[in-house]
Chain A
């Protein structure tokens, strides 16, 4: 145990870890997927793998919005920024994600007007402040972020701000989980459900996983104790042959979600018939587009978008890692050509990407120990 010791109530963590050991059947191998990138980050940071018995394998899921975006969408967004009248605004997480001809940051160095914003509403403010420019907000994120984009578009329309548009890449979590379960090379026993996405969508949408796929799912918080308690709840279900949705993160996640946020999304977005995910291919009804009543603010309708499909660099195995088929370290480029300092794939860029998390907490530790001559 490393970071867990520093956290509050280590005694309770130890007791929960003991409970996990008691519940885990030694004759079974458990594959539990944490869907959310925030969980992946926490699992590595707190060294939670070290407190779990070896027959519990945590598989990292596709819940990192930067990581699942295919390179073609980044190229499409950047093609809009070629217009000198356009300000390309995006979250900081996007800035180092490689496109075919470089990341947004590299395009900025080439003279494109590319700005970091911390909120979609700030992109709208940027438009109001620059009436002679067009501000295009490159929107990414799951249901945690999509309602904020929706509300921003509602404000743009209400205030009549017309030099503003959104290039919408919002995706939805449930179809991604469904795609993983449909994938023939995947075997997952249970899911740790995402925390903050569920603040918006609630717990009800996961019920089909439990009911139709017979997989337990526990929506969990991000603290070490939350994640371990989530695993205890999953193991109890697996022991009892149960498959239901449980909410470990009740202090933040209401069962019904955030109705105001869901209403805002419904007012602005429509489901796309299909959308491409990095490494997972096209998944039906897995993403949002801007509805016709907001067409004027839809960058895909206002601008010509090349819409070219771009395959990832051949040597990079982001797709397999994203689906949990390969561990980050099993990718040929991991830690060699691809590092957080010089990322080849998106999973190495975001702190929620499993490659970056693995590199920062596992790989560096191993490298340090090796350099000290210690057995690892």
Chain B
């Protein structure tokens, strides 16, 4: 559970509550950006996500590498299950086609 999941910020949902809509390989969920308050990312930025919270900003290449690594570790399904589960397993937004 210590392996973080890369995602791309699509839009800020609430500035006050520091939540953003992110995309992880087509699955879209809200994550919390509250832990990055000193260096807030914006739409288009990539972040590493852990238990529904963005932990750090990363480059697009690092995001691709991280997802490839999760796949190689056989953890991609578990990672996607985690992302799908954010928001109590109810898709708050429509996933990308």
Contact = CB atoms under 8 A, between A and B. Distances in A.
A45 B72 contact: yes
Interface stretch (A13-21, A239-247, A253-261, A275-283): A253-261
Given A122-B88, A142-B2, A252-B62, A41 B73 contact: yes
Interface string A31-66: 000001110011001100000000000000001011
Contacts of B4: 144, 196, 199
Nearest to A223: B69
User: Size band of the A side of the interface?
Assistant: 35 or more
A65 B68 contact: no
B3 A151 contact: no
B62 A260 contact: no
Given A197-B2, A259-B38, A264-B35, A118 B59 contact: no
A231 B17 CA distance: 42
A254 B58 CA distance: 11
Given A151-B35, A252-B56, A261-B35, A196 B86 contact: no
Nearest to A257: B56
Interface residues of B, number: 37
A185 interface: no
Nearest to A3: B72
A6 interface: yes
Interface of B: 1-4, 17, 32, 34-39, 48, 50-53, 55-56, 58-59, 62, 65, 68-69, 72-75, 78, 81-83, 85-88
14 contacts: A45-B74, A118-B83, A119-B51, A121-B53, A122-B52, A125-B88, A141-B1, A147-B53, A148-B52, A151-B34, A196-B50, A222-B69, A258-B55, A351-B75
Interface of A: 3, 6-8, 36-38, 41-42, 45-46, 63, 65-66, 91-93, 116-122, 125-126, 129, 141-142, 144-145, 147-148, 151, 155, 194-197, 199-200, 222-223, 251-252, 254, 258-261, 264, 350-352
